[in-house]
Structure 1
Amino acid sequence: MNRSKQKRRRLWPILFLVALLVFPAHGWAADSTDNGKWRYTALGDSLAYGIQSDGSAGLSYADFLADDLRNVDRLEEFTKAFAVPGLTSEGLLSQMQTNEEAVKSAAEADLITISIGANDFLKVFSKDPDELKNPEVVQSILQNVGENYGKVVHQIRTVNPDAKIFLMGYYNSFPAYPEEDQQQFIQLMNALNQTIQKVASASGSEYVATFEAVADNYDTYLPNPQNVHPGEKGYERIAEEFWKAVKPFVPIATDRIAGENRYETAVEISKQGWDESDTIVLARGDHFPDALAGAPLAYQMDAPILLTKERLPAEVMEEIQRLGADRAVILGGTEAVSPFVENQLKGMGLSVQRIGGKDRFVTAANIAAVLNGNPQQAVVANGMDFPDALAIASYAAGKGSPVLLTKDIRLPDVTALALTDVDASIAVGGTRVISDEVFQALPSAVRYGGENRYETSALIAKELNPADRAFIATGSDFADALTGSILAAKENSTFLLVPPNYLDASIAEAAEELGIRHFTILGGTGAVGPSVTEELMKSVHK
């Protein structure tokens, strides 16, 4: 067999891949707002549309980027209806010149992402691969892509000069093929990406590189060697690169969930997170010990934590009725939550389960025992005060890790027993709250502790529970942090404790390092003052 026949035979599988990218199964996915939220329009080819590694239509990088905005409550509207599989730069230019709906969407968008240009090469390749070995042909295509792309962005800028526009660079689509076959495409993609970068620079847009990100793990991100499109994890990885570029431009927002007191604040948190719930978790609102370990259990039950006094407050009874709950789980013994409250719940038609013990340590162990499964990791915090247990509550809830309690220099027997089948543990707080002696008695323990409760909270947020959104509660009392921790876990948010009237330096540093884009304040201004909110905003504007 002569060398030219060998080369043609080697190109056949690549031609098949090209056909998948250029001609996949078609179909359509179905004024700046004044509330600070963004309208997002994704334009471009099959990567914006969401063709999967098996050829089906699914979630694209744009969908995941929209989720990132939604998670920080900055998304007003999202569409990828004008993303078209097989679209070339000329096709996108035509769309922006003739499709009134596409132009209208771009004109009203606050954020626009574009992936275009690869199909300009691939359509030529599908007809005659040898054409792309001709430098003049390649240069002509690059010039056309650059001119068309530039006109597209200019058209958008004409109708919407304030839009944030992000242009995607391409990855190597053929990592499963021999090095000899890959090199031509790598060179072409590098040249194409350089062209896109120039368009971004000339138009005041942002360029988003994806080549190295996808190259980190081809097997995971491009799972089908017979298809050039990413799998879902690949689209997620591309979206991560977009989010890194977009995030600094996202407006920072704050909101506050508060009532007249801690009981009403717990109700407002419940309203924010649950339209309905068949179960509520009830804890004493003026006595913290029995409630410290409750967050993972409430999260597992998808139930809000509500607070009570010696008798159920009227607003709590009303919230139970609104939720349509038929079951209540009481945290603590009768000294914490009275039999009278239990009878009130039964009188409302709820079945009641009480999880308590002779002291806070036994209660925490009993709550851990009720959690489903056999958790590999437990959290251990000092039970004689509340801050550290609550600083990690949302993380523990999201991970399904029980919160167990200890004394500073002695590990209670009931806690040691509860740790018997646990493989690893997290010790929350410094040596003043969990001594080295206690730490050494914990299974495969890692300590997260700062000089004070705020440093500990900041450390947990940065190292264990990073997120773009943060729930903020006072570190001077337990109630708002307890009831808000489950909502924070539901919202995939981090959690920070703050002093009532100033911002601890460690919290400011954590907010800046994490790049928080949305702060949800728990409790009224007496719990977290306006000055704290102002300082939080400043910390991420540095």
Structure 2
Amino acid sequence: MQAWVKRGAITGVVGALTLAMMALVAVSESQAEGLNYERLAGPSGVETSLAVAKHTWGTNWPVVYVAANRNPVDALPAATIGDGPVVLTDGKQLNLGGVKPGHIVILGGPGAVPESIAQQARQTCGAENVERLAGSDRNATARAIADRWFSVNGPTNRMYLTKNAGSGSPDAVAGSVLRDAPIITYTNEASISAAKQFVAMRMPADQPAGAQLVALGGSGAVPDAVLQTVANGAATQRFAGANRYLTAFEIAKFAATDPARTVAYVASGTALKDAMVAGAAKDGFILLTPPGGAGTFQQIVSMGANKIVFIGGEGVLPQSTVVMAAGVGLGADGPGDPQIVNNSEASVLTGVIRVLSAKELIRLEQGKDVPELEKVFSGTEYYVVMILDEPAVFDIPHASELEVGTPTDAREAKIVGILDSTSGADLNPWRLHDGGETTVTFAGHSLYWPTDVSLPTTGPHAAAAYIGYNL
């Protein structure tokens, strides 16, 4: 697969892409040695959920939602309600960390959270302030939770759908931070039919504002046929990536359109309960990290986060993973000599690809929308950049001196501009890798420093780049 910047855009000023690079370089350089981070954890999922609850809500809990630690699938839809934290119970003791909430909502039937826990809840804040949200199965419980979402937040023209089998859908756990709509689930034909009826009742397709059902996860989690059936005439959309990590990234990008969400909450991609309870956070989005943490820091930087909060203890997030995901040691003073990149031969680099709109680039740089700056990007809709895993030294010419044998300028950089385009076809191969750890080959004689001196950019650009190894 190939992408390119047209040669005509290289001569003279490379305006729009240069500004795009300026936005990203400012962030990457300021965080070259990692972001500030902390860890919220306890000896079990119960204590970790309490740490998250107190981090987000302090000790003033208007309401608390209590789910089973053993299999907390009910925690995911409950977190979207947004009026209080979610904590887990081991089924023996109701541990609220010494906090006396105003209201306690038990999630699931007695098979999930025993009646003895409900009794302890009544002793804590009075029987009149305790209720249980439960259905005949986990999908019916999700619909009961969605009913409460509507009672707390009012009508919406949007709902989310995901599969709820086993320990829940790994594709959907990052959706616990979403606040604009409830999450409903399915596992079989009966639950698909029930979900369809619920959507038709709560979100009529012919309502004035329209209606939209959004799948959380790829077609393996929510097949197109299931999505269309449950939508019952409503418009459909999908948040999905090639795996659970990229699906979480797609959901995080949507959540981060709220400029108040600047904290990256990072959970293990294999310990899903931590991501479910992290949804109670009001100031950030959720990312899942793979074992080892590779690529996570680049995702975080590209989202413009100013802080990282890791959810879970050493058993699920070893310190080595935390350090890698936080970007510690990835800067110029990190271990090893930087890679030297020149124009005499093809260069292979690894990092995270981002496909960004002008608005996203400006928000990343400024921390807010700046309409007057967006006008600079007129004519170009999207920008593809690569955030390198480690900085490299680019010994390459300037845009006005691209002939072979011309003088070069050796400078270190962590961002490479790949493409600016209004063409969907040009963007297609890059969109498949957006947010993911990717290997890119830059053709010989294709890299250059932009010559627009009116913008203080230090980022190199590529005239020809290929996904994967193309030597």
* TM-score, reference length from structure 2: 0.56
What's 2:256 paired with? 465
What's 2:364 paired with? none
Name the CA distance, whole Å, in 2 between partners of 1:242 and 1:433.
36
Task: Give the 3 Å change call, closer, same or farther, for CA 531–341 of structure 1 in structure 2.
Answer: same
> What's the offset of the Cα at 1:282?
0.5
What CA deviation, in whole Å up to 9, does each residue of 1:80-123 have, x standing for no partner?
xxxxxxxxxxxxxxxxxxxxxxxxxxxxxxxxxxxxxxxxxxxx
Amino acid across the alignment from 1:497? L
Indicate the SS of the match to 2:320. helix
> What's the offset of the Cα at 1:285?
0.6
1:330 aligns with 2:106: yes
Task: Give the 3 Å change call, closer, same or farther, for CA 279–415 of structure 1 in structure 2.
Answer: same
Amino acid across the alignment from 2:146? A
What's 1:419 paired with? 199
Task: Give the 3 Å change call, closer, same or farther, for CA 409–388 of structure 1 in structure 2.
Answer: farther
Task: Give the 3 Å change call, closer, same or farther, for CA 486–349 of structure 1 in structure 2.
Answer: closer
> What's the offset of the Cα at 1:270?
1.9
Greater Rg over alpha carbons, structure: 1
Instruction: Describe how 1:95-244 pairs up with structure 2 within 5 A.
Output: none
Name the CA distance, whole Å, in 1 between partners of 2:310 and 2:301.
17
User: Is contact 1:328-1:345 (8 Å) kept?
Assistant: yes
What CA deviation, in whole Å up to 9, does each residue of 1:39-71 have, x standing for no partner?
xxxxxxxxxxxxxxxxxxxxxxxxxxxxxxxxx
User: Is contact 1:304-1:486 (8 Å) kept?
Assistant: yes
Instruction: Describe how 1:342-357 pairs up with structure 2 within 5 A.
Output: 342-350=118-126, 351-357=129-135
1:517 aligns with 2:306: yes
1:431 aligns with 2:211: no
> What's the offset of the Cα at 1:281?
1.0
- Aligned with 1:292 (options 70, 76, 85): 76
Indicate the SS of the match to 2:265. strand
User: Is contact 2:172-2:216 (8 Å) kept?
Assistant: yes
Aligned length: 287
> What's the offset of the Cα at 1:473?
0.8
Name the CA distance, whole Å, in 2 between partners of 1:509 and 1:244.
12
Task: Give the 3 Å change call, closer, same or farther, for CA 391–410 of structure 1 in structure 2.
Answer: farther
Name the CA distance, whole Å, in 1 between partners of 2:71 and 2:93.
15
Name the CA distance, whole Å, in 2 between partners of 1:450 and 1:349.
43
- Aligned with 1:482 (options 254, 270, 276): 276
Name the CA distance, whole Å, in 1 between partners of 2:159 and 2:172.
12
> What's the offset of the Cα at 1:340?
0.8
Task: Give the 3 Å change call, closer, same or farther, for CA 447–349 of structure 1 in structure 2.
Answer: closer
In structure 1, runs of 5+ residues without a counterpart are: 1-211, 213-240
Instruction: Describe how 1:368-383 pairs up with structure 2 within 5 A.
Output: 368-371=146-149, 372=151, 373-383=154-164
In structure 2, runs of 5+ residues without a counterpart are: 1-18, 204-210, 331-388, 392-413, 415-471
User: Is contact 1:283-1:291 (8 Å) kept?
Assistant: yes
Name the CA distance, whole Å, in 2 between partners of 1:424 and 1:497.
26
What CA deviation, in whole Å up to 9, does each residue of 1:245-288 have, x standing for no partner?
67853672111111111111111112212231232111101113
What CA deviation, in whole Å up to 9, does each residue of 1:278-308 have, x standing for no partner?
32111101113333311122x1x2x111111
What CA deviation, in whole Å up to 9, does each residue of 1:110-162 have, x standing for no partner?
xxxxxxxxxxxxxxxxxxxxxxxxxxxxxxxxxxxxxxxxxxxxxxxxxxxxx
Name the CA distance, whole Å, in 2 between partners of 1:414 and 1:512.
41
User: Is contact 1:408-1:435 (8 Å) kept?
Assistant: no
> What's the offset of the Cα at 1:411?
5.8
Task: Give the 3 Å change call, closer, same or farther, for CA 290–465 of structure 1 in structure 2.
Answer: same
Indicate the SS of the match to 2:131. strand
Indicate the SS of the match to 2:241. coil
Name the CA distance, whole Å, in 2 between partners of 1:517 and 1:248.
13
> What's the offset of the Cα at 1:410?
7.8
What's 1:340 paired with? 116
Indicate the SS of the match to 2:106. strand
What CA deviation, in whole Å up to 9, does each residue of 1:407-431 have, x standing for no partner?
3788622211221142112101111
- Higher relative CO (Cα under 8 Å, sequence separation at least 6) belongs to 2
Indicate the SS of the match to 2:125. coil
* TM-score, reference length from structure 1: 0.49
Name the CA distance, whole Å, in 2 between partners of 1:445 and 1:338.
38
What's 1:282 paired with? 66
User: Is contact 2:61-2:101 (8 Å) kept?
Assistant: yes
Name the CA distance, whole Å, in 2 between partners of 1:258 and 1:451.
29
What's 1:164 paired with? none
Name the CA distance, whole Å, in 1 between partners of 2:216 and 2:188.
11
What's 2:38 paired with? 255
What's 1:452 paired with? 243
Indicate the SS of the match to 2:130. strand
Name the CA distance, whole Å, in 2 between partners of 1:411 and 1:285.
24
- Aligned with 1:312 (options 88, 93, 97): 93
Structure with a larger share of its residues in strand: 2
Instruction: Describe how 1:357-372 pairs up with structure 2 within 5 A.
Output: 357-371=135-149, 372=151
Name the CA distance, whole Å, in 1 between partners of 2:262 and 2:123.
43
Indicate the SS of the match to 2:101. coil
